[in-house]
Amino acid sequence: MHLQSRLSNHIQTAFDVLFSSSIGSVEFQSTRKDFQGDITVVTFPMLRKVTMNPVVLGEQLGQYLVENSDEVVGFNVVKGFLNLVLSDAYYMEIFQAMSSDMNYGFSNPASKAAVMVEYSSPNTNKPLHLGHIRNNLLGYSVAQILKAAGHKVYKTQIINDRGIHICKSMLAWQRYGEGQTPRSSALKGDKFVGNFYVKFDQVYKTEIAELEKQGFTKEEAKNKAPILLEAQDMLLKWEAGDADTVALWKKMNQWVYAGFEVTYKNLGVDFDSYYYESQTYLLGKSFIDEGLKSKVFYRKPDGSVWCDLSKHGLDEKIVLRADGTAVYMTQDIGTAIQRLKDFPDVSAMVYTVGNEQDYHFKVLFLILKKLGFEWAKNLFHLSYGMVDLPSGKMKSREGTVVDADDLIYEMTLTAKSISKELGKLEGYSNEEKHQTYNTIGLGALKYFILKVDPKKTILFDPEASVDFQGNTGPFIQYTYARIQAILRKSDVYLGSPLAVVSLNEKEKNVLKQLEVFPATIAHAAANYSPAIVANYTYYLVKEFNSFYQNISIFGAETAAEKQFRLQLCSVVGNTIKKAFGLLGIKVPERM
């Protein structure tokens, strides 16, 4: 049983014995550093049950716990706060449980119901960029955390493989590609196609400038540019099923998909299912008729169909155009419903999408509730802020984005440069060095992004992220590698039962951090926040390093102390590895 549950039971009994009264929930806090104690009970709320001085109440409760519980050996009272000192025997008991449980921190599946997590969802006219990296890392990590918290999880994405943006790349390749392919040009397919999207924009701007010289306004020139009109015509042909257009569309999309898969592999993310906008954009139209019958929607005189959400503080939202064509909202309604048909055990969905779509998802979730879908109450928009660079924001059309593959490569080079300066990898083979540089570089990138609350904007500094000091991925990876080095020197068998030893403050602080690992995972899952796991890991490493720098492991006075300290190193190392695994980050055995 968790410590707080144990203490709550003891305090409930104390109230019955001391005051002939019952009490509801008990509030706990971490004990402040300037007070003696391991956990603090807040007694102010208890004064609703008994009328007495809070200090006297604390004194009586503390004395009862010392005399009647195995966990508490001392206490002190500061106003309405009862600071409890826990026994070494209790710490050794929980540590023995941690040591013997290889899945410590992870929960078994709690039910057959599943959660679907959507992330990535790129356009097929350009390669993945820095913004996609944050999206993928967040979605993948949230999926891993939900699994660890006991949920069955499906990872999915919807690929935006249709629309005018796709036709722009297709048309530019037809005009300027000269029959080249990704293979003939030695480029990844997504980069190859993305170059033609940039080429389209360059030609488009030139044509706009020419039309302006002829006397057209800026807006008129944008609408009359020949290359845009040709792209619009191509879109109409695609929607009409023109064989040549569809064949070109399929060919270029396959180039892009092959490129995406390389990036996903390099980034360490994957998916259980894929949805394609070309297959889903007509979904949802059938539910418009049902919504009209149930008066969720209404039809305007021009034939368009709308949903009035003004009673909920939102606007009117169109769900079907006057010509009968669907809009994005219609598609998203249909896709959500289709996913529940495809995966009947799904009871909740998480959409990992940037905060510019906050309003869209408020509307989507509300419409699905109005349509009567019970599961709609379990939909969550994992809204995240943008990733900015010191040089400013990125623009896909102008080719000024930070390419995901390039960034991964640059992170590896940065890790290599810093590692060489510090002399960290002397004696490694070239292959071992390259693998370690990649592990450090990717770990730095992932940790830098995931340690920040998803809602916040990130200013990404590649060099700062690879610092071996401070709240960084490499700092935590280095601590893990240090622990492995300690364990390699050990001649102690770590699987045998531990004797009770007298614990010092540094050891207790590490144990306190280890104890809250399961609660940390549960908290991160409930809030869909990898930042909670990331920062927990940093605090654990800080406490471990303080222990390591102040307490001799191999110079322990007794064999029991030495065994305990080595076992403590082992459990901390395993916990770092598990926590970083939830973030999609690898840890090196040597560094």
**543, part of any domain:** yes
CA 423 to chain centre: 33
The stretch 543-554 carries a mean pLDDT of 96
Position 396 scores a pLDDT of: 43
Position 3 scores a pLDDT of: 85
Q: What is the residue range of 523's domain? A: 423-582
pLDDT at 393 over 60: no
CATH code where residue 82 lies: 3.30.1360.70
Position 401 scores a pLDDT of: 67
Which of 51, 86, 121 lies at the terminal end of a domain, its last residue?
Answer: 86
Distance CA 368, CA 353 (A): 18
DSSP state of 343: -
The stretch 403-427 carries a mean pLDDT of 83
At CA 133, angle to CA 130 and CA 134, rounded to 5? 100
Model pLDDT for residues 125-163, shown as the tens digit of each residue: 989 988 899 999 999 999 999 999 999 999 999 999 988
Which of 59, 86, 113 lies at the terminal end of a domain, its last residue?
Answer: 86
For residue 60, give every residue at least 6 positions away whose Cβ sits within 8 Å of its Cβ, in sequence order, or none.
14, 18
**Helix axis angle, 505-515 to 517-527, nearest 10°:** 40
- Position 472 confidence tier, pLDDT thresholds 50, 70, 90: very high
**434, part of any domain:** yes
Position 1 scores a pLDDT of: 59
| Tokens (6 digits) for 313 | 């503080």
The stretch 421-427 carries a mean pLDDT of 72
**190, part of any domain:** no
- Position 16 confidence tier, pLDDT thresholds 50, 70, 90: very high
Which of 67, 86, 105 lies at the terminal end of a domain, its last residue?
Answer: 86
Number of domains, the chain: 2
pLDDT at 391 over 70: no
CATH code where residue 495 lies: 1.10.730.10
Token pair 């356009």 is found at 123
- Position 397 confidence tier, pLDDT thresholds 50, 70, 90: very low
The stretch 201-216 carries a mean pLDDT of 96
**552, part of any domain:** yes
The rounded percent of the chain whose pLDDT value lies above 70 is: 97
**72, part of any domain:** yes
The stretch 392-398 carries a mean pLDDT of 45
**92, part of any domain:** no
Position 400 scores a pLDDT of: 52
Position 394 scores a pLDDT of: 41
Average pLDDT score, the chain: 92
Position 395 scores a pLDDT of: 46
**308, part of any domain:** no
Q: What does residue 114 show for φ and ψ, rounded to 5 degrees?
A: -120, 160
3-state secondary structure of 375: helix
The stretch 438-458 carries a mean pLDDT of 94
**439, part of any domain:** yes
The stretch 208-214 carries a mean pLDDT of 96
Q: Please give the radius of gyration of the chain, using alpha carbons only, rounded to the nearest integer.
A: 29
Distance CA 545, CA 478 (A): 11
3-state secondary structure of 163: coil
**Helix axis angle, 559-582 to 88-100, nearest 10°:** 50
Position 112 scores a pLDDT of: 84
Query: Which stretches does DSSP call E strand in 285-345?
Result: 298-299, 305-308, 316-320
Higher pLDDT, 554 or 590: 554
